[in-house]
Structure 1
């Protein structure tokens, strides 16, 4: 499958809108688009899926390694893969957009804010193209998409100023209907605030779909997949929470759980009973926006009872919050949560952690063996405070990142574990979880 990376000159330049408009343009031209996202993100991919109808692949060199990036790319299906970058093209020490483009050996289409420039847009793009060689990255900036650019003289000035080695792929006009509302963790999800097909059609009219398709190239073949025991009737059943409160999960994670186990979803928000299973996975999401409903649903009470009887419950970020004794929301309201973990959680006005993380296992546990390391990422606005007098057990030392208390992550109680870190299936954590349940 051929593809290209859509890089930005900075954060906030409009990469997501450009990605969606390009996907729409390519779709209208008859191409099947496989979306992907460089970097650890759950929100932008939800918009990708809303437009293309396909789950967006996560491509992050820190989370997956370069081999894992190529494997995840090739698990997608389509004619052209459009990879939305993260931050500015060269920003990020753990996994920048440039690092992902280098790992895949595919070209970069640069999104440049043209709202207040013409010839300077060309100068900016040329600088981004030349900078790759200065830092030893094999990154080809093939051309630009001019974001927030008008037509007529404005567009002509940008196009005519580009040197021959940079292609003009078109522009995104400054339309008010191309704004996606945001909140504390980023944009609203794709199913909450999708861009209208009319707005995307209006934007895509000014993009050259055939030129974009022509610049795409195929990455080298990925290494062989790590061996995974395929599911049988005797393999463990894993119950995965899935609703508006628990919606941050990578497609690769669900694929790995389906490959090696039997997966069943349930909704704590709807008050669903916990399925008959060998283990539960509570992914991240927005429990803070649904705390009152969760507290009243009864599902969390059942989770606590089942956990106290030995059912392993694995929580990540939002899952950790739901497994705590209580959750205090931004408006000061405190709601009882499952009470599996000896901790209380409180929302803060500013984010408390935003980073790639690395964790070292202190002993054998549900997601790692003693001494092994997991890589993931953390992004949250809450703090977790251990209950006074509690005999807290932590599964991990934080080699990089904040974790729960600045030095540890993975709070344990019974056979359950919760982290602030999100990990990808390429980390091996979910293979280990299935082994733990077997």
Structure 2
């Protein structure tokens, strides 16, 4: 599967909109587009899936390693992969967009804000191409996609200013309809705020899909597959609704390969289905705290957790398993009460980083002494009881208290850290059932 990366000059330059418009332009050529996202994001991929019609792959060197990154790439189903970058092209000390492009050996198309420039757009692109040598990276910046660019003289000025060996791949015209509203964790999810079809169609007419197809390259395949565990014959229940919407497609795939999956919606009033383990992924429990407080599923989870049912909660899942959740407005709602913590939402984010955890004892997702890599991004803080027990020490990242992550009670584990299945955490969970 050929591919290329859409890298930005900075955060906020419009990479997500450029990616969605590019997907639409390539769709019009009859190609099945597989979207992907560099970095540990859940929100941008929801918009990718909405437009492309297939789940977006997560490509992060810190989470997956180089072989795992390539494995995840090749589990895609399209015939052309469009990878949206994270932040600016070179930003990030563990898995920048440039590092992902280098690991895949695919070209970079630079998304540049052209709203107030012409020659300077070309100068910016040239600088980004030349900086790769300075950074010691083998990155091939092949051209630009001009964001917020008008036609006519504006477009001609940009094209004429570009060096002969740098391609102009088109433009995204200014259009107020091509704006995705945001909230505290980033953009709103794709199901909440989809861009209008007619706006995407109109913008896609200005993208040179034929030239993108010509520059796309096939990445090297992974040297070896991840070792496969056998079927467990067990049933895993996964919460899936607006309160628990942050999950990697690869996680669902891995759990489904080795167990029978059951999804349920706590906010819709679903009770916990019959199962051998529960996975509560992250999401927005703070926006659905009242519904969760009345959810029969949380009461059942608390009862079953007390009986020894394995329960894994990540970030939003940790919040739902706590004793209470207090919103920014000061309203406090009871949660499942499994974990000894009171969670409060804050005005500013409390952690944003790649994470490395070391298990201090055997736990659901790791054996004693093993390390897990993941990421954290949350606006809440957890006030834990003085006798609370933790499963992990944080070697990178903030965790729950700056030094530890992974609250444990019975066979329940709640972390602020999100992990990818390449970490082996979900295999450890399944092997322990």
Please tell me whether the aligned partners of residues 228 and 259 of structure 1 are also in contact (alpha carbons under 8 angstroms). Answer: no
CA contact (8 A) 1:230 1:261 kept: no
State how far apart, in whole Å, the 2-side matches of 1:410 and 1:166 are: 48
* 1:67 alignment partner in structure 2: 67
Per-residue deviation at 1:421?
0.3
> Where does structure 2 lack aligned partners over 5 or more consecutive residues?
none
After TM superposition, which residue ranges in structure 1, 4 or more long, deviate above 3 angstroms? none
* Partner residue, 2:414: 418
Once residues 12 and 203 of structure 1 are traced to their aligned partners in structure 2, the CA distance between those partners, rounded to angstroms, is 19
Aligned to 1:427: 423
Preserved contact between residue 7 and residue 86 of structure 1 (Cα < 8 Å): yes
Aligned residue for 1:132?
Answer: 132
1:263 & 1:370 partners in 2: Cα distance?
Answer: 28
8 Å CA contact 1:71, 1:223 repeated in 2: no
Instruction: Give the drift of 1:351.
Output: 0.2
Q: Deviations over 1:25-68 (max 9, x none)?
A: 00011111000000000000000000000000000000000111
| Displacement after TM superposition at 1:222 (Å) | 1.1
Check if 1:238 corresponds to 2:236: yes
In the other structure, the counterpart of 1:379 is: 377
SS of 1:375's partner is strand
Give ranges in structure 1 of 5+ residues lacking alignment. none
> 1:221 offset after TM fit, Å?
1.1
Kindly indicate whether the alpha-carbon contact (under 8 Å) linking 2:271 and 2:295 is maintained by their aligned counterparts in 1. no
CA deviations on 1:91-121 (whole Å, 9 max, x unpaired) are 0001000000000000000000000100010
What residue number does 1:279 align with? 277
Q: TM-score, normalised by structure 2?
A: 0.99
CA-based RMSD: 0.8
| Segment drifting more, 216-225 vs 91-100 | 216-225
Q: Spell out the pairing of 1:10-89 with structure 2 (5 A cutoff).
A: 10-89=10-89
Distance 1:32 1:426 in 2: 26
Match of 2:104 in 1: 104
Aligned pairs, number = 433
| C-alpha distance after superposition, 1:293-342 (max 9, x if no partner) | 11012211111011001101100000000000000011110000000001
**SS at the partner of 2:369?**
coil
| Distance (Å, rounded) in 1 between the aligned partners of 2:67 and 2:2 | 17
1:389-427 Cα deviation digits (max 9, x unpaired): 5x2110000000000000000000011101000000000
1:322 pairs with 320, 327, 336, which one? 320
Per the alignment, residue 174 of structure 1 pairs with 174
Equivalents in 1 of 2:406, 2:392: separation in Å?
A: 6
The Cα shift of 1:133 comes to 1.3
The equivalences for 1:1-400 within 5 A come to: 1-231=1-231, 235-387=233-385, 389=386, 391-400=387-396
SS at match of 2:357: strand
Secondary structure at the aligned position of 1:321 is classed as helix
Distance between the aligned counterparts of 2:288 and 2:255, measured in 1? Answer: 26
TM-score (norm: length of structure 1): 0.98
